[in-house]
Amino acid sequence: MINPDSELAQRFWREGRLADCPILDFHAHMHDWSGLFLPHQMPEDMLRTMDACNVAMALFCGHVSLSVPAINPAGRPAAGETKDMEAVRRFPDRFRAYHVVMSNYLDPEADLTRMAENPELFVGFKFHPDTYGVPLSDPRHEPYWRYADERGLLVLSHTWGRSDQDGPEEVEKVLREYHHLVLIAGHSFHDDWERGPELVHRYSNLYLELTAVLDNRGALDLLVEKCGSQQILFGTDLPWFSTWHGIGAVLSAEMTDEDRRNVFYRNGEKLLRRFPWFGGIWSRGA
Amino acid sequence: MDLQFFDCNVSYGTPVRPGGEEGKPRVLRPAPTVEAVQEEMARAGVAKAVVWRVEQMTGSTLTANEMLADDLRGCDQLFGTWALLPSHTHEIPDPEDMPAAMKASRIIGWRLFPERCRFLMKGFALRDWLELAVARSIPLFVSTAHGASLEQVADLLAQAPELTVILTYANEWPSDRLLRPFVKEFPNVCLDMTFMLTDGGIESFVGEYGAGRLLYGSGFPACYFGANMLMIKHADIAEVDKVAIATGNLTRIVDGVRL
C-alpha cells in the first residue's frame, strides 16, 4: 500500500503504470561503465523498464560519452556521442541526449557544430565537474554556456553539496551569468538539502533533480517543504537505479499528489515544450 | 491476497549526534521510539520487521540490548537483534546462557558493530559465537555501514561456511560483482536489499540464483519503506518469488532459529 493518503500511491501499487501519470526521467545514462554491472545498460533493456513504468521519455548521456575521451579524434564524432545519437535515432519518441562537456578534452568547435547539425537529437549539455576535476564555472566552459543560453537549452550537471567543483557556489556563479538556459542540478546538491531550495527561490531557471536523492528518507519532503514542487524533476540514473524504487520513494514522501504529478511529468513537460519535436511525441504518448 | 512484507533492516533510537556520524549520511527523520517505527510500518503496510537500536552501536551496548528487549515485549510484529561482543569479557550472556536469554526477549539474531564496539571481526575472537550460530541456525546481521568490511565478512565465512549471514552492503551503487560471489560460495548468505536498487537487478539475480537469497529490507528510518516495496511488487519475476523475497525467506530464517 505504501501510502494510504495518496490515491496515486494506491493506483501505482495496484496497476504498476498509470496512463494519466506518465514519467519524464531527466537523468539517465546508457551503455557499459567500468565500475558497475548493469543488467539494463542497452537502450532496448531500458525501454522495457520505461514501458513497464510508463516513462514517456528519458534524457541521457551515455557512459561511453562521459568516460572514454581517447576515441574522440578532433573534428569527428566521438564514439560515445555516436552511440548516443544512434540510440536517439533508433528510438526518437523515447530518448533524447545531453551532449557531454568533457572538461579535460574540450573541442567546442566540433562539439557545437555537432549540436547545431543535430538539434533534434540533443536537448543540451551534461557536465560532470567532480569526475573531471574541473569546476563548473571554469572559463574553458564558456562557449558551451553561451551556446546553451542563446538557445534556451537544458544543462544537466552533477551537483553535490560540499563539492568545490559543482556545489552551490559554483552553480550560482553560472546562474548569475546565464538566465535563459535551464540548469538542472543533478542530485539536488546532495547532502546539503537547504541550499538547493535557497537557489531555486532566487533563480527561476534552476531545477532540482532527484537521482540519488530518493534513497534518503525525508530529503524530497524537505525540498518540497522549502521551495514547493514546481522546480523539481524526476530522475533515476537509469540504468543504474530502479525506476520503481524512485517512484516508490516519491509516493512515500510527504507531499500532495498534485506535487507528485509536478515532479513526475508536469514540470518536465513544460521544459520540453521548448523543443519543436516534443509536442507531437507527447500528444501521441500522453 | 496482497503481498506481505517482513523487513530485515529497521532501526530506531536516539543517537548521540542527531546530525549523524562524521562522514556518514545523515538520517533526516529519525524514529526515536519503537512506537514511531510501528506507526510508519502501519502507514506503509509492512507486516513485520527485525529491528535494532542505534544506541547498541553509538551508545551503551549492554544497556541498549536490554532496552531493545524491553521495547519488544508484547510486540508480536517485531523481532530484535542483539549486538554481539567477544565472550572473553563476559559482558553479554555467555554462549551457554545466550539462547534462553534470547528466547525470553524476542531476539532472533545478532548484529556486529566491530568498529564502534572495538573488537576484531576475526574467527579466533568470535569462535564460540560462530559455533553456536551454526549449531542453532542463529543469523548474523552484518552491515558494511557498521564497520564490517566485505573482506572481514569473507574471512568470517571462510571459518564458518555454514553460517547464516544477512549481509547489508551499504552502498547504493550496483554491487553484484561484489556480492554474487558470497551467494555462490556460501549456502546461507542472504542479501538485504536495502541498497540493492539496480534497475533489472532483481530479475537478473533471480534468473541466476533463484529467489531464496534475497530479503526485503528498507533501511528505515534512513530510507522509505515503500521504495523497495514497489520495486519488489512490480519486479518481472514469478509471484511465488516475490512472496519469497518480501516475506518468505526471512520467515524461514526466523522460524529456523533454535533457541
Give the residue from chain A lying closest to B45, CA to CA: A1
Q: Does A196 touch chain B (CB under 8 A)?
A: no
Q: How many residues does chain A have?
A: 286
| Digit-coded pLDDT (tens) for A16-47 | 999 999 999 999 999 999 999 999 999 999 99
CA distance B188 to A249: 30
pLDDT of residue A74: 56
* A49-71 tens-digit pLDDT: 999 999 999 999 999 999 987 65
Alpha helix ranges (H) inside chain B:
34-44, 55-58, 61-72, 98-103, 123-136, 150-159, 176-185, 201-209, 225-233, 239-243, 249-256
Contact criterion met (CB below 8 Å) for A271 and A154: yes
Q: Kindly list the residues from chain A whose CB atom is less than 8 angstroms away from the CB atom of residue B176.
A: 37
In the predicted structure, residue A73 carries a pLDDT above the cut 70 = no
The grid coordinates listed for A75 are: 573534428
**Which grid coordinates are listed for B145?**
555501514
Tens digits of residue pLDDT in A99-118? 999 999 898 998 999 999 99
Question: What does the H/E/C string look like for chain A?
Answer: CCCCCCHHHHHHHHHCCCCCCCEEEEEECCCCCCCCCCCCCCHHHHHHHHHHHCEEEEEECCHHHHHCHHHCCCCCCCHHHHHHHHHHHHCCCCEEEEEECCHHHCCHHHHHHHHHHCCCCEEEEEECHHHHCCCCCCHHHHHHHHHHHHHCCEEEEEEECCCCCCCHHHHHHHHHHCCCCEEEEEEEEECCCCHHHHHHHHCCCEEEECCCCCCCCCHHHHHHHHHCCCCEECCCCECCECHHHHHHHHHHCCCCHHHHHHHHHHHHHHHHCCCCCHHHHHHHHC
Q: Which residue of B has its CA nearest to A252?
A: B226
Q: How far is CA B104 from CA A94, B74, B80, B100, B107, in A?
A: 57, 11, 11, 6, 8
Instruction: Kindly report the nearest CA distance between residue A179 and chain B, in angstroms.
Output: 33
Q: In whole numbers, what is the pLDDT of chain B averaged over residues? A: 96
B187-200 burial code (b ≥16 CB/10 A, e <16): ebbbbbbbbbbbbb
- Residue A37 contacts B, CB cutoff 8 Å: yes
| % of chain B surpassing 70 pLDDT | 98
d(CA A147, CA A99): 12
Instruction: Please give the pLDDT value at position A168.
Output: 98
- At residue A68, the pLDDT reads 86
Among B residues 140-199, those touching chain A with beta carbons less than 8 Å apart: 172-174, 176-177, 195, 197-199
pLDDT of residue A82: 87
pLDDT at A78: 66
| pLDDT value of residue A261 | 98
Report d(CA B212, CA B207) in Å as an integer. 11
Average pLDDT over residues A256-265: 98
**pLDDT category, B95, cuts 50, 70, 90?**
very high
Domain boundaries, chain A: 7-285
Q: Is B199 in contact with A40 (Cβ distance < 8 A)? A: yes
**Torsions phi, psi for A182 (to 5 deg):** -110, 115
Rounded to whole angstroms, how far apart are CA atoms A49 and A37? Answer: 17
Note whether A238 contacts B: Cβ–Cβ < 8 A. yes
Name the strands in the sheet holding B48-53, side by side, starting at the edge strand that comes first in the sequence.
Answer: B6-12, B48-53, B78-83, B107-111, B140-143, B165-168, B189-192, B214-215
Q: Which pLDDT value is given to residue B2?
A: 87
β-bridge partners, A190: A160
CB-CB under 8 Å, A217 with B222: yes
Distance from CA of B166 to the nearest CA of A (A): 20
> Nearest Cβ partner of B221 from A52, A217, A249?
A217
Task: Tell me the per-residue pLDDT of A175-204, one tens digit each, with 9 for 90 and over.
Answer: 999 999 999 999 999 999 999 999 999 999
pLDDT of residue A71: 56
Dihedral through CA B66, CA B69, CA B73, CA B77, nearest 10? 160
A71 interfacial to chain B (CB closer than 8 Å): no
pLDDT for A1: 84
B229 touches chain A (CB under 8 A): yes
> Whole-angstrom Cα distance, residue B225 to residue B45?
9
Structure confidence at residue A32 (pLDDT): 94
Establish, for the pair of chains A and B, how many residue pairs have beta carbons separated by less than 8 Å. 127
CB-based contact, B228 to chain A, within 8 Å = yes
What does pTM read for this prediction? 0.97
For residue A177, give the C-alpha cell.
Answer: 551569468
Looking at residue B244, what DSSP letter applies? I
Residue A265 in this model has a pLDDT that exceeds 60? yes
pLDDT in tens, B38-52: 999 999 999 999 999
Chain B residues lying within 8 Å of A247, measured CB to CB: 230
Domain positions in chain B:
6-256
Q: Between B28, B174, B195, which is nearest A218 by CB?
A: B28
Among A residues 72-131, those touching chain B with beta carbons less than 8 Å apart: none
State how far the Cα of B241 lies from the Cα of A123, in Å rounded to an integer.
40
ipTM value of the model? 0.96
Q: From the options 3.20.20.140, 3.40.50.261, 3.40.50.2300, 3.30.750.24, give the CATH code of A7-285.
A: 3.20.20.140
Q: What is the predicted pLDDT for the residue at B254?
A: 98
Q: What is the pLDDT of residue B45?
A: 97
The partner residue sitting opposite B233, judged by closest CB among A4, A13, A46, is A13
The CATH architecture to which B6-256 belongs is Alpha-Beta Barrel (3.20)
Give me the pLDDT at residue A276, please.
97
pLDDT tens across B141-170, in order?
999 999 999 999 999 999 999 999 999 999
Average pLDDT over residues A80-86: 89
Which residue is listed with cell 564558456? A142
Q: List, in sequence order, every residue forming a beta bridge with A25; answer none if it has no partner.
A: A58
Predicted local confidence at residue B1, as pLDDT? 65
Using the beta-carbon criterion (under 8 Å), do B227 and A253 form an inter-chain contact? no
**What residue of A is the nearest CA neighbor of B43?**
A3
pLDDT for A77 beyond 80: no
Q: What is the DSSP letter of B198?
A: B
pLDDT tens by residue, B185-244: 999 999 999 999 999 999 999 999 999 999 999 999 999 999 999 999 999 999 999 999
Q: What is the pLDDT of residues A113-130, one digit of tens each?
A: 999 999 999 999 999 999
For residues A105 and A72, what is the distance between their CA atoms, to the nearest angstrom?
Answer: 9
Q: Which pLDDT value is given to residue A286?
A: 58
Chain A residues inside the 8 Å CB shell of B236:
48, 52
Q: Please give the residue of chain B at the shortest CA–CA distance from A222.
A: B28
Q: What is the pLDDT of residue B16?
A: 84
The C-alpha atoms of residue B129 and residue B133 are separated, in whole angstroms, by 6
